[in-house]
Chain A
Amino acid sequence: MPVWQGHTPEARARVRACAARLRAGFEAAGAAPVECPILLPAATLLDLYGEDIRARAYVTSDALRGEQMMRPDFTVPVVEMHMAGGAEPARYTYAGEVFRRQEEDEARANEYLQVGVEIFDGSDPAAADAEVFALVRAATGGMQLRAATGDIGILMAAVGGLRTSAPRKAALMRHIWRPRRFRALLDRFAGRSEVPASRASLLAAADPFAGAGPDIGLRSRVEVEARIEALRADAGTPPISEREVALIDAVLSVRETLPYALENLRDIAVDMPAISEAVAGLAARAEALEARGIDTAALDFEAAYGRTHMEYYDGFVFGLYAGTRPDLPPVATGGRYDALTRVLGRRAGRPDGIPAVGGVVRPGLMVELGGAA
């Protein structure tokens, strides 16, 4: 019998049944079921993620609506739908196909069912974080999944607290989710790497525009001059101290069970008070998790978790993995994405965004791992 991505009709029916059960579970916990289109306007996703989204999502088009993307996840359409008319607090659940372009590994599924829950409720962020985690954990209960958690908000707070210029902080903040560029910038700002020769000679030149050729293109002379001014100001800014770089490194290397991580971060906060509030938030979340019956002593915490693959997640992040199958992607993932709602909110007249946290489960993987019963 021909099968599709390993699915016989029977296996497919089990996946669909599992998805329906998961969604019913989230509904029973108070989430309202919603539907979203499969074809999304490409402009919104491109605006959010830039060119990288084209490597992850399928693009199609017609002459009437222009470029559209096949839904790579539900978060964006659910936030947009909520902003168009929902009132807080709100809890939503959904189930449906998502499509992920695969360019590296043919073994990875390019379409699969996803069931999710999203909470828009700013009254008690720690409680909302814990609620999502507990719901997703319970939905995959009995599967003995390993939980990895993190909190990108701590690194962001550490960057915000650096004793350096606002443009330097903004540059680091912009590359929080791109570790390689972040490191290169940090090394530059700390005076660890040499100033490129071309920049040194530009700043030393009597007339930087000598022999530059005619002004062409949309980026004007004024913009080039503004950047030269910014480079001059930066060259006059003292380096970020070795001590502060060491503290950033200390934050990034925290990797313990949650209670120990918390202790470790509190120690760092003594030397770096800027992260105190974020660490207090982590402590409040740990308490909220305990209140939901999660054993935090058995929960792994990694300050850098999710940094490369969860852009716009700016607080709590988590993933649930099958320890026996390291070849598989996580069975469930989630986190807080207030930053994403601020970007989407600009268009919807809500520039402050909405405090938002959510999680998704892949019923196909649950069935494959034998945990869907």
Chain B
Amino acid sequence: MSVKLGVPSKGRLMEKTFDWFRERGIVLGRAGSDREYAGRVEGIDGVELVLLSAGEIPRELTEGRIHLGVTGTDLIREKLAGWDLRVEELAELGFGHADLVMAVPGCWVDVDTLDDLDAAASAFRERHGFRMRIATKYHRLVRDFLRDHGVADYQLVDSQGATEGVVKNETAEAIADITSTGETLRANHLKILSDGLILKSQATLFRSRRVEMSDADRAVLKDLTARLRVD
């Protein structure tokens, strides 16, 4: 057995994760070609690198198939109910910053707060005969947030990408999406509600609380977290 570390398999998130580990003396990399998803680890024995889609890492952690995993806080909280019983946050890695926010068209000059959104949703339903549509891929986080704030008369519609465009296409009236600079929102004539911050997310190293470990694994994990200075 070995301690399995799950890391996003593509793009900037992977590169930055590799950098973060390298700064702490652990070298991660792809085993063979750029297209191969097997990984290699130098600088410590008994650790295996598993390259995965960032969206699958929460599930792999909660199923106990990997011991450690790097992914966004947003994905952990969206996908895992009772997330803090399933995983432990070891370290925020300082990149991959993104905020999950509620945004509405800039032309809705009457809507600046959730209170306004709720009132607008009520009037919208009366006029159009259906609930105001909010496009998102973060169904659970958005629903919990809106319920906690007492917003009613809305419905969530699924949007897995290019969410900023749905309002113009009239498939939704508002959105809840990840943004880092707000640039794409502005370009699509959307504005963030002043109390519409649902979650601040960044790339984070998580430890599974649900994984079975041998004594040898435990020793490796202890050594690794000490070297990463996250113990």
**Residues on A facing B (Cβ under 8 Å):** 46, 50-52, 54-55, 103-104, 106, 171, 174-175, 178, 180-182, 184, 188, 196, 198-199, 202, 208-209, 212-219, 221, 223-224, 226-228, 230-231
Expressed in whole angstroms, the Cα–Cα distance for A73 and B101 within the complex equals 34
> Is A217 a contact partner of B112 (Cβ separation < 8 A)?
no
User: Is B180 in contact with chain A by the CB < 8 A criterion?
Assistant: no
Expressed in whole angstroms, the Cα–Cα distance for A106 and B80 within the complex equals 13
Residue of B120, B139, B140, B148 near A227 (CB, 8 A) is: B120
Contact bitstring B146-173, A, C-beta under 8 A = 1, else 0: 1111111111100000000001101001
Chain A hits for B113, CB < 8 A: 196, 198
Considering only CB atoms, which chain A residue lies closest to B128 in the complex? A218
Expressed in whole angstroms, the Cα–Cα distance for A217 and B211 within the complex equals 47
Return the 4 tightest CB-CB contacts between A and B, nearest first. Answer: A181-B150, A213-B106, A198-B112, A103-B81
Expressed in whole angstroms, the Cα–Cα distance for A212 and B152 within the complex equals 25
> Is A103 a contact partner of B107 (Cβ separation < 8 A)?
no
**Residues on B facing A (Cβ under 8 Å):** 81-82, 105-110, 112-113, 115-116, 118-120, 122-124, 127-128, 131-132, 139-140, 143-144, 146-156, 167-168, 170, 173, 189, 194
Residue of A52, A175, A226 near B143 (CB, 8 A) is: A52
Question: For chain A, what secondary structure do more than half of its interface residues adopt (helix, strand, loop), or is it mixed?
Answer: helix
- Known A-B contacts A212-B107, A213-B106, A219-B120; the reply to A181 vs B127 at CB < 8 A is no
Considering only CB atoms, which chain A residue lies closest to B189 in the complex? A213
> Is A216 a contact partner of B140 (Cβ separation < 8 A)?
no
Considering only CB atoms, which chain A residue lies closest to B132 in the complex? A219
> Is B110 a contact partner of A202 (Cβ separation < 8 A)?
yes
A-B contact pairs, 15 of them (CB 8 A): A50-B154, A51-B155, A51-B156, A54-B156, A55-B143, A103-B81, A184-B115, A196-B112, A202-B109, A214-B107, A216-B105, A216-B167, A217-B105, A218-B128, A226-B123
Chain A hits for B149, CB < 8 A: 180-181
